[in-house]
Structure 1
């Protein structure tokens, strides 16, 4: 199965000059945990509920802090024509719960989350494998304020 068959296509985005309050409100309204960040029609980062909690609130930042101050700028992504099995293995190795999905022109076309894989019967094993990798303790994405 290809990523395009499992991903979520309708992705809302934010700008880096918006506030983390804006991002948090949008996440609450949409019941999601991450938003891609775009600037000048290009993907420049991703902000997650975890970024807001660990990099902003835990550090005493204001709700009016701009997204660019706490977003993850080093973007990991996958391509829509890649195989789900390869991408989910990579998600486990990198300890990522979601990945932006790009076309070969490097334009955002969707997002792939563990929830997308868990709902699709044929990819549930891939979701389990990725979750096992993600759930390993420690590493780059542990409970620190350090950027990942």
Structure 2
């Protein structure tokens, strides 16, 4: 199954210069825990609710003045919309991440695919099971 068939197409993005408090509100209002970070029409990283908690708040940064760039993961992994869902599962397993930005071949953001999308929208139980198992290993970072 192709990524374009299972991805979420409505994607919120955030600028690296956005205050963390505003990014957190965006996540709350959209009921999401992941935002692709874009600058100059290019994907430059990702921000998760966990990034805000661990890289900013836990380190004493003020969410009113700290910026997305202070907590984001730069240089993110991604998948192309015409790739197979098993390729997304492999990337997620290798990188220990739960969500991947989806790009078209012009490297423009067109969606997001999450491990939950793989679990509920594909029929390859072996790939899904292995991916979930790989992501569930204790002590590994999960985005």
Give me the TM-score of the superposition, normalised by structure 2: 0.92
Show the counterpart of 1:52: 52
- Moved runs in structure 1, 4+ residues, more than 6 A? none
Counterpart position of 1:115: 116
Once the two structures are superposed, what CA deviation does each residue of 1:26-77 show, in whole Å capped at 9, x if it has no partner?
1111111100111111111110001001000110110121101110112110
SS at match of 1:32: coil
Whole-angstrom distance in 1 between the partners of 2:14 and 2:53: 17
Task: Report how far residue 121 of structure 1 moved.
Answer: 4.9
Partners of 1:122 and 1:53 in 2: CA distance: 34
Aligned counterparts of 2:122 and 2:92: Cα–Cα separation in 1: 19
Quick one: structure 1 residues 111 and 123, their matched pair in 2 at CA, closer, same or farther if it must change by over 3 Å? farther
Aligned with 1:59: secondary structure? coil
Note the C-alpha offset of 1:130: 1.3
For 2:81, the equivalent position in structure 1 comes to: 80
Q: CA RMSD in A?
A: 1.7
Deviation at 1:124, TM superposition (A): 5.0
Unaligned runs of 5+ in 2: none
**Pairwise mapping of residues 63-142 of structure 1 onto structure 2 (< 5 A)?**
63-64=63-64, 65-123=66-124, 125-139=126-140, 141=141
Which consecutive unaligned segments of at least 5 residues does structure 1 have?
Answer: 143-147
